[in-house]
A = this chain, B = another copy of it.
Amino acid sequence: MARHVFPCPLRWADMDAYGHVNNVAFLRYLEEARIDLMFRLGSQEGGATFSGGSVVARHEIDYLRPLVHRHTPVAIETWVSDITAASMTLRYEVRDGERVYARASTVVVPYNLAEERPRRITAEEKAFLERYRDDGTVVA
C-alpha cells in the first residue's frame, strides 16, 4: 500500500559527453532502488531475502527530461504493480518533487543461481511485495 522512496545518489561520471546523466545510468539507479527494496528492506521486514539471486526479464523506461549531476540525491519511488507465481513487476518514478525525470518498469524473476534456473516466489516474499503493491497509477 506504500511506495518505497529511495534517495539515489548520483555520481559525476554518470554524465556523458553531452553533459547530461547518460540514459544507461538511469537503469543503474533503478537497480539501486530495487536492491534497496529487495535486499535491504526485504530482509529487514521479514525474511523476504530473494536470496540465491534474481534476474531481470524486461525493462521499459521513458525519459521525460534531462538530468544533470548534482550533489543531492534524486528520489526513486518504487512500487509493485504485479505479482505472479514466478515473477514480479516493479514500477518506478525518478523524481525531484514534482519534476519527473523518468518512468520505468522492470519484470524481475527470482532465480536459483546454483541451479541456473528460475524459481517460484516464496510466501514470505509475496507477503513482503504485497506491502508495496500499488495499482492506481499507470506508467511507462
Residues of B within 8 A of A17 (CB): 12, 15-17, 19, 69
Q: What are the residues of chain B within 8 A of A18 when measuring CB–CB?
A: 53, 55, 113
A55, B67: Cα distance in complex, Å: 12
* A63 lies within 8 A of B56 (CB): yes
Q: How large is the interface on A (under 10, 10 to 19, 20 to 34, 35 or more residues)?
A: 35 or more
Dominant secondary structure at the A interface: mixed
Nearest CB of B to A104, in Å: 9
A24 on interface, CB distance cutoff 8 Å: yes
0/1 string, A16-45, CB within 8 A of B gives 1:
111110111001100110011001100000
Determine if A58 is an interface residue (Cβ-Cβ < 8 Å): yes
Judge if A13 is at the interface, Cβ distance under 8 Å. yes
- A131 at interface by CB-CB < 8 Å: no
Q: Are A62 and B71 in contact (CB under 8 A)?
A: no
Give the CA-CA distance A57 to B101 in the complex, in Å.
11
* Nearest-neighbor residue (CB-CB) of A116 within chain B: B66
On A, residues with C-beta under 8 Å from B are: 9, 11-13, 15-20, 22-24, 27-28, 31-32, 35-36, 39-40, 53, 55-63, 66, 69, 71, 113, 116
